[in-house]
Amino acid sequence: MAVTYTSQIKTDKEKLFACYSLIEQFRVEHNNKIALASSDLGRYGAKIKPYAQLAKSLLKQLLAEQNRLKESIRWASYTPEQWKAVSSLSLEEQSVICLTLFGDKNVEKVKTTKTTSSELAELKAINLDNLSASSGTDPTEDFTTYTEVDPGDDITKTADRITFTALRTREDTFYVYKDKGVDHFNGNFEHLEKHTVSAWGNGAIDGGVLNTWLMANAVGDLLDLRQANANFFSYFHYSLLETGWSYYLYLEEHDGASGYEDKYKNWNINTVYFVELERDEAVGTYGTLYARICTGNYYGLGGSLVDTLSLTLHTSKKDFRYIYGLTGYEDDAIAVNATGYIELLDLQEAVDQPFRNYYPHILAH
């Protein structure tokens, strides 16, 4: 990977902020090419997916540099034991510490930088006409086969969709999950999901917490797993009272007693997000976890990339048993209601289930 920093950029934090800018430039260039391809589907429609796969491999190299810098900054300030203590704090307290360590990505990414990247230059040089076409279909999960725990009766399921209505995300214990068998999720994976929130309430000081994807080896909500020092991956909505209410999408690794996160700020009510969640065990010692958040369609199918979250994974390569479509964070905070749905969870596995193609549903919803 080649990122060339100017002589004025010396500290890891300054380099991190430059990476934020490069990654944002990459996102804009990617979306411009997707918009071009989408404007002439007869010519480019079958080339969107191979283009996106190429762009993905380039972006991973930039994200690896971003994550290297984050790890360097983290361990320059905390020992591993001290970070375990940070991980046991409330979500609100952890957010303040991470802001101090890593800055506000939302602010820094829009600043100009003279730092350059060969990956960004290579992306700009891609000619869609020179790419080979591809096609294919993938299966989606049948949520009627998932176990539902919902004492408040706020959740309904169909084969394609989990709908939640006035769900008290921090007051009730609830989850929808599937036992896939011991070590089912081993090695690399790419999962797709589609979600939206149509109503979200906040308390006087407490925000909501709602997972729409979680992978673990135990059954419980997000707080249960944290308190048990469990190993898990999660992707969740969160609202935090800062100068006003801020709305985040979080990607999290919990490695025993230690937690690590990356986040996107300013998700919107009534916006449908198409998300690809990936683990690539070839990137980093123990792999890297990604969340590619798009609007309009899935990544690789013409979606507009909103942000890419990524985490360098820690300690070991871990296998998981349970996949969650929905859960919350019952810490007895004031009732915070959420209404919306998650649908078309695609584990990209054709075995152990009837073939169910998501492509018709993209057009139907």
Secondary structure (3-state) at 353: coil
Contact at 8 Å (CB) between 123 and 26?
yes
325, two tokens: 């479509």
Take residue 116 and report the two structure tokens written for it: 């350059």
**What pLDDT shows up at residue 357?**
36
Q: What is the pLDDT of residue 351?
A: 43
Amino acid at 268: N
Per-residue pLDDT of the chain (365 residues; tens, 9 = 90+): 579 999 999 999 999 999 999 999 999 999 999 999 999 999 998 899 899 999 999 999 999 999 999 999 999 999 999 999 999 998 889 999 999 999 999 999 999 999 999 999 999 999 999 888 765 555 689 999 999 998 878 999 999 999 999 998 888 889 999 999 999 999 999 999 999 999 998 877 778 899 999 999 999 999 999 999 999 999 999 998 888 899 999 999 999 999 999 999 999 999 999 999 999 999 999 999 999 999 999 998 899 999 999 999 999 999 999 999 999 998 887 757 899 999 999 998 854 333 333 333 333 33
Bridge pairing between strands 258-265 and 116-117: unpaired
CB atoms within 10 A of CB 4: 11
- pLDDT, residue 243, reads 84
Task: Provide the β-strand partners of residue 171.
Answer: none
pTM, 2 dp: 0.90
Helix (H) or strand (E) holding 74: helix 48-77
Amino acid letter, residue 230: A
Task: Mention every residue, 6+ apart, whose C-beta is less than 8 A from residue 362.
Answer: 297, 298, 301, 344
Whether the CB-CB separation of 78 and 86 falls below 8 Å is answered with: yes
Give the helix/strand (H/E) hosting 232: strand 232-241
CA dihedral sign of residues 328, 181, 309, 126: negative
Which residues pair with residue 340 across a beta bridge?
Answer: 164, 197
Strand partners, 164: 155, 340
Alpha-carbon distance of 154 to 241, in angstroms, equals 25
Q: Which two tokens stand for residue 114?
A: 């003279």
Q: Which of 213, 178, 174 is nearest to 293 (CA)?
A: 213
Query: In the prediction, which pLDDT does 140 show?
Result: 87
In angstroms, the CA 245 to CA 248 distance is 10
Q: How many CB atoms lie within 10 A of CB 359?
A: 14
The CA distances from residue 135 to 30, 33, 45, 158, 300, in Å, are: 20, 19, 10, 28, 11
Phi, psi of 323 (to 5 degrees): -115, 135
